[in-house]
Structure 1
Amino acid sequence: MSPPNSETAESPSHISPMLRLPPEIIKTIVDQVPNSTIKNLRLTCRFYLETVALRLDRVFISANPRNVEVFTAIANHDAFRAKITEIIWDDALLYVRPVPRSAVEAYYGSDDDYQDYAEESDDECDKNGINWRGNVPGWFRKACRDNVFFLKEKRDKYLNRPDLVARAQQACEQMPMEEAWAYYQQLVQQQRDILDSNAHIIALEKHIGSFLALQRIVITPAAHGWIYNPLYETPMIRSFPRGFNYYIPRTWPVHDRSMPECDDWNEDGSDWQGFRTVTRVLAEGRDFGRVVDLRIDVHELEMGLNSRVFEKENRTLSDFEAVLARPDFAHLQLDLMVDPHYTQADVFRSGLLKRALARASCGQGLKSLSLRTNIDMYTTIDECDWYVPLTTIFTPTSYSRLQHFGLARFYVEQDDLLALLASMPKTLRSVELSMLEFMGEKDSYRTLLWGIRDTLGWKEREPRPTLVVSTDLSNPKPGQALWLEHELYSFLYENGSNPFGNDPATRGPSAIRFGFGWEKDCFNPYHKRPHVDNYDLADLGYIKGSRPRPVARPTQDLPGPGKSYFTDARYLL
């Protein structure tokens, strides 16, 4: 009998070449794929189970049994729980149509408001191949229709990016309406059971101390994102059947100009339950003081935490102050819903938010502070009831060691804002000033940038602070904005052009010029394109071109930071 071939024994031909790769190559490959792919890879063989680790640093909790189940399982797993640094509280509750309180409300809130266009056609499916027939409430069918229309609008305008194609395929494979409605009702009943039992709250109270590396808690109503494009793929959302179309939940009240004012702060109820629960659990020390980062994040939707929690003393405010006062507390993001009328300024004038910020980290101040409202920006006059001096909110104590400062959707006096920035410490590394409305007739983003460049002395600092600005699109869309960053660095430190124009006599002083900035979508990382007109977007391959350019003009390659895309004077404001 001949001896075995040692070379063959060590490297049998039937072993996959992937198994022969060095561990560092496997890690590089695995780092490029989503966690769902890693899970499937670990199931293929013992080798990958032992060598490829799950990318697990966050857990989700909400009023859904699947989220509670996975949250609890990870908390009870000795290896997994040690990796968790972040908890996401999904505060979006599935919509349940309320029972009408009167015959009038029943009439105006009935399903008759929503015409079932599919019933008017003899065709079983519409031109997209979707069958809208079925015995479901009109409001549910309308929500599903709106979702598909939202997708179709993007497909009609943009080129076939992989993310758009994938979502369009799900839309074409949409579940029958009656099946989708039946599944939605199951989800609503599960949600009702969790809310009745407080199982999600009990799970947080019981297990938050199990996460040894926990640092951050995010509370958001935006987890579901848009149809087939969630912001977070929570266990609940991952379990949805393919092609499940449904009413996307937000829960927190959406800003409505017809509302006379924000409701008084309510210590009970379902609105902002995540904020009330999380601040209480942290104030009780159930996390053993580990959380040093709290974010109320609406992802630029027109909603936020009810600002009237800071109007007068209440239990939740006391819990919030206790959390901020922790010795090592460092990071706060606060997205607020404010009164749609001038009385919102009275909330800030109460001084309670100012007091909470001043006591942060035992009076040492925060390292990162971002404050945003959902104010609709109207054309202002010299005296505006919306305005409050920034010293009404911020004190030197609250930002004595600040590294990042963000302010969005506020009415500001330019001199007041420059004075605040001038008083900030040398530790400041980054500033975001987005969607601000300037009170003075001669003030604007254009003049603000000149003031920052010429009066703050940032150019002599090392390192130099970076500045980011975003403005609304000309046709505003939730989550989308125009962003400036590299162009601002060029203007402040490298003698670059002002993205808002260099001539003080030109019009549109708070409008970003074509050729500067990028349009981004906080719900979709694939949506990123230069701020140019539609003809250039078509030339650059971002959108479909439908009409010829009216006047031929020379174009250039994409410019470097701070440079214009065009030489044509019509585009240089």
Structure 2
Amino acid sequence: MFSNLQIRPAKPHRRKTSMAARAGVSKRRVSYISTTANDVPSMSLMEDLFGEEFPEAFGGSSGSTKSSKSILDLPPELLAIICEDFSNIDIKRLRLASAYLAKNVDLRIDRVYVSPNRANLQCLRNILDHPRYKYQIAELIWDDAQLDAYPDLDSFKQAVEWDEKVMQRNVERLVRKLGEGEPEADVEMEAFEDEDLFDSSGKLTEMAKDILLRHNSQFAKHVIAKNAISMSIEESYEIYQALYRQEQQIMKQEHDAAALEYTLENCPNLVRVILTSEVWRPWHLQPVYDTPFRRSLPQGFRKPSVWPWLSQRPYDTPARREYREGVMGNYVSDEEGSLPTEFRGYSILLSALATIEDTQVSEFIVYPGQETIGVSHHLFTTPNADFTNTLKMAQHLPLTRLALSINASCAFRTSTTYLRSGQLRTLLASMSHLEHLDLSLNGTERHEETAGAVVRPSLVFPASLLPRLKTFALRNATFPELELVSLISALTSAHHITLDNI
């Protein structure tokens, strides 16, 4: 009866196609999550979890799709605002991310360096050729630390080894200071001598590295890295000789002087000019000024310190002392003459500043760090071309700030001293806009014993200047006590007064 009956599997139940699908509209299932601002995970985590459905998964979303905008769509004006709180290194990294950011995110450059060195001059030229950077420059620094001549390897080695001994003493003090206040470290410190920190070749021992790394400071890492990669004396001497020849050639052709004039003419917002000797000091574990020249040196290069402005050095030779005393013990006898060649930077700066037009320069600073050196006392001892230019600058520029440090070495030997000549007083009297004065005399008539040789403040400071000064600093000077009190009393507008080693 049922011989022809065939049993077939039941057809699967098919869900009827929705009208949305038949209309060509795709619909995704979305889960809505309630959250608060305090427990929201990071954007990258949410994108990994939800993929293309982010941010539709949030309850506050109205179904909008993810935006395709990025930082590359921001205009330069907004990028500049964003970068205001970035460090310089972060800005440099951001510029490396894309060609657009490299073009539209500016470096933060407000200072330029001038010296007879190819790296400094090339960097300066790149900045001044940029359509925007030259308008950011507010400070110009002239590095007056000229390289010393070392005729042979032995003299070079002696200078380098002395610097490295200073560095070693600084590291020894640092390591001991790091252990202060830690009982475990104090016991460890008492167990070894300073010799345990360095081996016979001057390298840090493993013990010293361990103590430095335990504190995990950037400074400690810098000391370790610098110590680890130092090159040989012979290699360093070869590089140094090439740098010295290059510097001598630039000074001979006066390329640095031409670069200075070009900078003054093309930086309309320049405010401050600094003459300094502090770029290459052995006691600075970190540079005071991180110049392009310094950054261009190969890693591990061992460079001896520079002692500019005829300053005394710890490993002086009799010949060098005799030369310094011969130069500083005399004076400029010709009104058309200039300061000794060791003060070449001051002569070039003042020659340019005396004639510059349409400038905003209002601050001139001679910065010797903590040293009792500066521009030669010859400047104020007798009439000379550099004093004439200094006076022209004072009358020509509306200077509101002056910081002046004088190298008074051997000044007592001249028949007319730099304080009694009246030239310094004449200079200060000509500065009608001056409000901030920092004067380091670095020696007075201590070698004179007669009452007539006493230098009084009235020989240095004009009475019209003192009442309008807002800040006043006097360093390394000797005046009669009562007259010093009168001097301070005359500073009726001063907000801050500094007396250092008076």
User: What do residues 57-105 of structure 1 show as CA deviations (whole Å, max 9, x unaligned)?
Assistant: 1100001011111112212222000010110000001111369xxxxxx
Q: Percent same amino acid among aligned pairs?
A: 22
CA distance in 2, matches of 1:98, 1:309: 31
CA distance in 2, matches of 1:55, 1:24: 10
Q: CA deviation at 1:52?
A: 4.3
SS of 1:433 mapped into structure 2 = strand
Contact 2:115–2:143 under 8 Å retained in 1: yes
CA distance in 1, matches of 2:176, 2:411: 37
Q: 1:374–1:243: structure 2 CA closer, same or farther, 3 Å change rule?
A: farther
User: What do residues 223-270 of structure 1 show as CA deviations (whole Å, max 9, x unaligned)?
Assistant: 223365211011101112222221111321114898475443462653
Q: 1:60 aligns with which of 113, 122, 146?
A: 113
Q: 1:44–1:386: structure 2 CA closer, same or farther, 3 Å change rule?
A: farther
SS of 1:348 mapped into structure 2 = coil
User: 1:392 maps to what in 2?
Assistant: 459
CA distance in 2, matches of 1:175, 1:249: 19
User: What do residues 402-435 of structure 1 show as CA deviations (whole Å, max 9, x unaligned)?
Assistant: 1111100001222111111111233x22111111
User: 1:329 maps to what in 2?
Assistant: 399
CA distance in 1, matches of 2:444, 2:457: 19
TM-score, normalization: structure 2? 0.69
Aligned AA (1:240): L
Q: CA deviation at 1:221?
A: 1.1
User: 2:177 maps to what in 1?
Assistant: 158
Check if 1:96 corresponds to 2:149. yes
User: 1:82 maps to what in 2?
Assistant: 135
Aligned AA (1:215): V
CA distance in 2, matches of 1:386, 1:9: 85
SS of 1:411 mapped into structure 2 = coil
Q: CA deviation at 1:177?
A: 2.3
Check if 1:274 corresponds to 2:340. no
User: 1:69 maps to what in 2?
Assistant: 122
User: 1:42 maps to what in 2?
Assistant: 95
User: What do residues 256-292 of structure 1 show as CA deviations (whole Å, max 9, x unaligned)?
Assistant: 898475443462653111111111111122x534322
Q: 1:229–1:429: structure 2 CA closer, same or farther, 3 Å change rule?
A: same
Q: 2:247 aligns with which of 191, 204, 208?
A: 191
SS of 2:419 mapped into structure 1 = helix
User: What do residues 412-466 of structure 1 show as CA deviations (whole Å, max 9, x unaligned)?
Assistant: 222111111111233x221111111xxxxxxxxxxxxxxxxxxxxxxxxxxxxxx
Contact 2:411–2:418 under 8 Å retained in 1: no
CA distance in 1, matches of 2:451, 2:310: 25
CA distance in 1, matches of 2:339, 2:428: 25
Q: 1:192–1:141: structure 2 CA closer, same or farther, 3 Å change rule?
A: same
User: 1:351 maps to what in 2?
Assistant: 422
SS of 2:358 mapped into structure 1 = coil
CA distance in 1, matches of 2:405, 2:488: 21
Structure having the higher helix fraction is 2
Gaps of 5+ in 1: 100-109, 115-136, 437-573
User: 1:432 maps to what in 2?
Assistant: 498
SS of 1:369 mapped into structure 2 = strand
User: 2:294 maps to what in 1?
Assistant: 237
Contact 1:82–1:213 under 8 Å retained in 2: yes
CA distance in 1, matches of 2:417, 2:444: 17
Q: 1:208–1:418: structure 2 CA closer, same or farther, 3 Å change rule?
A: same
CA distance in 1, matches of 2:136, 2:485: 42
Q: 1:139–1:147: structure 2 CA closer, same or farther, 3 Å change rule?
A: same
CA distance in 2, matches of 1:386, 1:96: 40
SS of 2:468 mapped into structure 1 = coil
Q: CA deviation at 1:324?
A: 0.9
SS of 2:498 mapped into structure 1 = strand
Q: CA deviation at 1:201?
A: 0.6
Q: 1:385–1:245: structure 2 CA closer, same or farther, 3 Å change rule?
A: farther
Q: 2:381 aligns with which of 300, 311, 319?
A: 311
Check if 1:408 corresponds to 2:453. no
Q: CA deviation at 1:397?
A: 2.2
Gaps of 5+ in 2: 1-23, 27-51, 54-62, 179-211, 314-320
Q: CA deviation at 1:153?
A: 3.2
CA distance in 1, matches of 2:442, 2:90: 38
Aligned AA (1:198): E
Aligned AA (2:346): F
CA distance in 2, matches of 1:2, 1:223: 71
Check if 1:423 corresponds to 2:490. yes
CA distance in 1, matches of 2:238, 2:109: 33
Q: 2:363 aligns with which of 286, 293, 302?
A: 293
| CA root-mean-square deviation | 3.4
Q: CA deviation at 1:375?
A: 3.3
CA distance in 2, matches of 1:144, 1:298: 19
CA distance in 1, matches of 2:226, 2:133: 32
Contact 1:410–1:435 under 8 Å retained in 2: yes
Q: 1:69–1:263: structure 2 CA closer, same or farther, 3 Å change rule?
A: farther
Larger radius of gyration: 2
Q: Which fold has the larger relative contact order, with Cα–Cα distance below 8 Å and residues 6 or more apart in sequence?
A: 2
CA distance in 2, matches of 1:354, 1:253: 25
Q: 2:278 aligns with which of 209, 219, 222?
A: 222
Contact 2:268–2:359 under 8 Å retained in 1: no
Contact 1:224–1:248 under 8 Å retained in 2: yes
